[in-house]
Amino acid sequence: MWRLLLWRRAKGWRARGWVTGLAVGLLAHPGTWFLTIGFLGDHAQLMLPNGERVVAALFAGLAYSFASLLALGWLTVPVSILAGALLGVVDTD
């Protein structure tokens, strides 16, 4: 994802690093919850048919990611923005 957003050094490449960090910080929460629910499964949804299980897992992942953004987003989003800004400065290709 990093190379897709920072493909060449042009005006505003530092801002792209910040935006990339922000996107990663915000998308990490739903991605983590979707993978967790997908691999571990939700015990309350084991009795649902496959199609309904996927839809229920998506809604549960969104709810859990919203809660985790509220609880930990104050830490993870600024750290990922800082990491994106630092990688934008360090990237020397």
Residue 31 has pLDDT above 70, yes or no: yes
More confident call, 57 vs 80 = 80
- pTM for the full model? 0.68
pLDDT the model gives residue 85: 83
Range 22-42 burial, b when 16+ CB lie within 10 A, else e: bbbbbebbbeebbeebeeeeb
93 domain residue, yes or no? yes
DSSP state letters, 7-69: -S--TTHHHHHHHHHHHHHHHHHHHHHHHHHHHH--GGGTTS-HHHHHHHHHHHHHHHHHHHH
16 domain residue, yes or no? no
> For 13-25, what is each residue's pLDDT tens digit?
667 788 888 999 9
83 domain residue, yes or no? yes
Give the structural domain span for 58: 29-93
More confident call, 54 vs 82 = 82
Q: What is the mean pLDDT of residues 45-62?
A: 71
Per the structure, how many domains does the chain have?
Answer: 1
Using CB atoms within 10 A of its CB, is residue 87 exposed (0-12), middle (13-18) or buried (19+)? middle
Q: What is the mean pLDDT of residues 36-48?
A: 62
20 domain residue, yes or no? no
Other residues' Cβ atoms within 10 Å of the Cβ of residue 4: 7
18 domain residue, yes or no? no
17 domain residue, yes or no? no
